[in-house]
Amino acid sequence: VLFGRMRSKTGSKFQGKSGAVQHSSIVLRFLAGCQSEELGMFIDLLLEPVCHHGQGRCLAAVDKAISETDSSAVLPLGRQHSLLNIVNTVISKLGHHIHTHLPKVLQILLCVTASVATVLNQREQLKAGCIAPLKNLRRLGVLRIQDFFDGFDSYSFTPDELDAVFQAIVWPQVCRLPTESPYSPTPLLKLIHVWSRNA
What letter does residue 14 receive in the DSSP assignment? Answer: S
Q: Residue 173 contacts by C-beta under 8 Å, 6 or more apart in sequence?
A: 117, 142, 186, 188
Query: What angle (nearest 5°) sits at the alpha carbon of residue 142, between those of residues 140 and 145?
Result: 110
pLDDT for residue 13 = 47
Q: Rounded distance, CA 43 to CA 126, Å?
A: 32
- 84 — pLDDT class (breaks 50, 70, 90): very high
Is pTM beyond 0.85? Reply is: yes
What is the residue-wise DSSP string for 97-129? Answer: GGGGGHHHHHHHHHHHHHHHHHHHTTGGGS-HH
**pLDDT of 15-37, one tens digit each?**
455 456 666 777 777 788 888 89
Which residue has better confidence, 66 or 183? 66
Positive/negative CA dihedral, 139, 190, 93, 40: positive
Q: Rounded distance, CA 36 to CA 127, Å?
A: 43
User: Do 90 and 47 meet the contact criterion of CB atoms below 8 Å apart?
Assistant: no
